């Protein structure tokens, strides 16, 4: 059981690392195009810094298990993020699409961290729980902020549309 839990934990850490690489790429692409939404841009920039710390935490957890990241998973997720950002950039309602996608992505990240935290004891890596909980809290704060700002961003978008017309 311990080996299965540890193996699942390591795969989960690699997946989470790739997920955070994807998040980093998405936020980097989005932040380049958020000048009309300064509050969103500032929040994305702050969460980008958190994401870089989350990547370091995941790398330390993997190192503690004697493992490393998956270059294939990281590269694949990075490419997917850039393709998604390009697709959204072509849309007239890019900010709305990004807001909806970011809301979903933050909740995906929350679930991933909750799963990893649940595995810590069975995998014999109790020391990983604290850094993973720190990342979970950051994701929960970001998800909450996005959720509470959907209406505001929508109305800002509408205002920009009216000004452009």
pLDDT truncated to tens, each residue of the chain (165 aa)?
558 999 999 999 999 999 999 899 889 988 988 999 999 999 999 999 999 999 999 999 999 999 887 665 656 666 665 566 565 556 578 899 999 999 999 999 999 999 999 999 999 999 999 999 999 999 999 999 999 999 999 999 999 888 887
pTM of the model: 0.89
Residue 17: domain span: 2-164
Give the whole-angstrom CA distance, residue 52 versus residue 28: 11
DSSP 52-114: HHHHHHHHHHHHHTT----HHHHHHHHHHHHHHHHHHHTSTTHHHHHHHHHHHHHHHHHHHHH
Q: How many CB atoms lie within 10 A of CB 163?
A: 8
Please give the tally of structural domains in the chain: 1
Give the whole-angstrom CA distance, residue 72 versus residue 121: 28
CATH code of 7's domain: 1.20.1260.10
């Amino acid at each position: 059981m311990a080996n299965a839990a540890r193996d699942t934990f390591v795969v989960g850490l690699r997946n989470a690392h790739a997920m955070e690489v994807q998040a980093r790429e998405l936020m980097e692409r989005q932040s380049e195009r958020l000048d009309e939404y300064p509050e969103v841009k500032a929040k994305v920039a702050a969460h980008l810094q958190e994401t870089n710390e989350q990547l370091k935490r995941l790398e330390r957890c993997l190192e503690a298990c004697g493992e490393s990241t998956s270059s294939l998973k990281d590269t694949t997720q990075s490419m997917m993020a850039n393709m998604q950002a390009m697709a959204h950039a072509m849309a007239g309602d890019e900010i709305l699409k990004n807001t909806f996608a970011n809301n979903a992505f933050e909740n995906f990240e929350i679930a991933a961290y909750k799963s990893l935290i649940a595995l810590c004891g069975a995998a014999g890596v109790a020391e990983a729980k604290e850094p993973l909980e720190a990342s979970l809290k950051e994701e929960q704060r970001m998800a909450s902020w996005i959720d509470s700002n959907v209406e505001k961003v929508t109305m800002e978008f509408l205002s920009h549309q009216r000004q452009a017309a």
